[in-house]
Amino acid sequence: MQTASTTATQSACASAPGKVILFGEHAVVYGEPAVAAALSDLRIFVLVTTTNTQSLHVEMLDLPEPIDVRMDAERIVCSLESLQAPPTKACAERIRNLLVGFSNNDLNVEALTPLIYLIRQLLPVSMIQSGLDVRVRSRDLPLGAGLGSSAAFSVACAAALVKLASQSETLGRPDPMYFEQIDQYAFYSEILLHGTPSGIDNAVSARGGALLYTKKKDGDSQMESIPNLPDMHLMVVDTKVPRSTRELVAGVRALYDRHPSVIRPILQSMGEIATSFVKNGVSDVLTLVNVNHLLLRAVGVSHATLDEICETVARVAPNQAAAKLTGAGGGGCAFVLFRPDLEGREYVMQRISKSLQYKCFSSSVGGDGVLWLSPDKFPVTEEKDSSIWNERYSLLAATATVAALSWLLLRRSR
Ligand code: MEV
């Protein structure tokens, strides 16, 4: 084993964006085309540093159940020899069995499984043995809400680890020779997280921009980038209803297996919507949004909150905007799309967001995919720190005001 104190530490940092599926989620799992675009302002950042501590320290503080664990590096190396690529169920089980020894929280084990897999597959053994510090942060990307946070996590982790292993000095888009490896391993990580992903989420998070994506029968995929995504104005609505992509995808599969001749045409219609959007652009796009939502509802992946959002938009802004769920559904997020030639869009947006009791925000669509960054670009925890400061400052100010008022009252009463 390497002796700790003699080795200089190295760091690698990467970030990857969330995504919005405009048309064709779920159908894409069955080989239908789907359209997805990156949400390049909403990103996951990963910083990996070698430490010479012989342990693996992982910090993911933005999760609903924050993770801050330390694991013995030698145990990871010894217990997880020859993991399969792509990962099998048995391989996931081996990693989970190891992790339950470090954490008794199921959610933590689920989030750590793909990370441990990627570390074991992408880094040389000597680098793992000497110790690592892994930090993950999300910038504005709602987690587990259908906006591709898990794919962004997978892509950013794979990218940071590949950068560390290769010692590439490149910043910005990773070198082409490493890009394929990052995308491939991000897909493996998605298998561990979701079971049978189509690959659309990691594809768009890695590449950025917008894609017409089709998963082929042989497991390969066909991707057509949509260079000039029509000028679209999206508002995202977060219901904050938690859901599991794995369970929703499995639910559609069970329905499909029971009634293939009924469900297949519904999925094919969703594929037709995606193709028609790419062919015809935004003309009559509101109809496509409405119909796609109703088809998703028909295969059982909507939720009362998502239907309520669509109905409210139809009532408050008829012929001006339309809404549909995005991603796996079952809660999470919906998006609202506005008629491209609509005048006074800001006003309509305000009217809609006032009628909904959910968090609404707008985000630009398209933009950068995965990026290799200099380690000092890893976001610091300033929002949390500043809110603590604000709380402390307010408390101090309130105490001072009470003291000043008491002093004035005392003087008056004398
Ligand atoms: C999830 O973002 C999209 C789904 O179509 C699943 C997948 O494509 O892997 C629901």
CA nearest to 131, candidates 74, 81, 59, 80:
74
Mean pLDDT over 332-357 rounds to: 94
| Cα–Cα separations (whole angstroms), residue 191 to 91, 118, 321 | 11, 12, 35
Q: Are 19 and 37 in contact (CB under 8 A)?
A: yes
**Per-residue pLDDT at 390:** 38
| 2 three-class SS | coil
Whether residue 7 has pLDDT greater than 90: no
Lowest mean pLDDT among 73-77, 230-234, 262-266, 303-307: 230-234
At 251-310, the pLDDT tens digits run 999 999 999 999 999 999 999 999 999 998 888 999 999 999 999 999 999 999 999 999
**Per-residue pLDDT at 382:** 55
For 26-161, strand residue ranges (E) read 34-50, 55-60, 67-72, 132-139
Mutate to test the pocket of ligand 1, among 19, 20, 22, 28 (most ligand atoms within 8 A of CB): 28
Nearest ligand 1 atom to the CA of 24 is 5
CA nearest to 10, candidates 167, 118, 146:
167
**Per-residue pLDDT at 22:** 97
Mutate to test the pocket of ligand 1, among 204, 249, 256, 299 (most ligand atoms within 8 A of CB): 249
What is the Å distance from ligand 1's center to 308 Cα?
22
Better-predicted residue by pLDDT, 106 or 242? 242
Total Cβ atoms within 10 A of residue 364? 14
At 359-384, the pLDDT tens digits run 999 888 999 999 999 999 999 875 44
Total Cβ atoms within 10 A of residue 285? 22
What is the Å distance from ligand 1's center to 239 Cα?
18
Total Cβ atoms within 10 A of residue 53? 14
At 119-140, the pLDDT tens digits run 999 999 999 999 999 999 998 9
**Per-residue pLDDT at 230:** 67
- Average pLDDT of the chain to the nearest whole number: 90
Give percent above pLDDT 90 in the chain.
79
CA angle centred on 15, ends 117 and 110, rounded to 5°: 35
Known active-site residue 150: yes
Write the DSSP assignment of 65-98 as a string of letters: S-EEEEEEHHHHHHHT-S--SS--HHHHHHHHHH
Q: Are 369 and 38 in contact (CB under 8 A)?
A: yes
Known active-site residue 276: no
What is the Å distance from ligand 1's center to 170 Cα?
31
| Cα–Cα separations (whole angstroms), residue 134 to 49, 80, 125, 216, 243 | 7, 19, 16, 35, 26
CA nearest to 135, candidates 379, 412, 351:
379
* Contacts of 315 by beta carbon, 8 Å cutoff, 6+ apart: 355
What is the Å distance from ligand 1's center to 17 Cα?
16
Strands 55-60, 67-72: pairing is: antiparallel
Mean pLDDT over 334-361 rounds to: 94
Mutate to test the pocket of ligand 1, among 23, 29, 188 (most ligand atoms within 8 A of CB): 29
Nearest ligand 1 atom to the CA of 252 is 10
